[in-house]
Amino acid sequence: SKRNKQKDEL
């Protein structure tokens, strides 16, 4: 599974 990329979008 994809690593926890930070959610930087609204």
Partner 1 sequence: MNIFRLTGDLAHLIAIIILLHKIWKSRSCAGISGKSQVLFALVYTTRYLDLVTSYVSIYNTFMKFVFLATSYATIYLIYVKFKATYDHNHDTFRIEFLILPSLALALLINHYFNFLEVLWTFSIYLESVAILPQLFMVSKTGEAESITSHYLFALGSYRALYILNWIYRYATEGHYDLIAIVAGVVQTVLYCDFFYLYITKVLKGKKLQLPA
Residues that bind partner 1 (CB under 8 A): 1-2, 4-10
Q: How far is the CB of 8 from partner 1 (least distance, A)?
A: 5
Ordered DSSP codes for the chain: ----------
* Interior/surface letters 1-10, b for 16+ CB within 10 angstroms, e for the rest: eeeeeeeeee
Least distance from partner 1 to the Cβ atom of residue 7, Å: 7
Residue 10: CB minimum distance to partner 1, A = 5
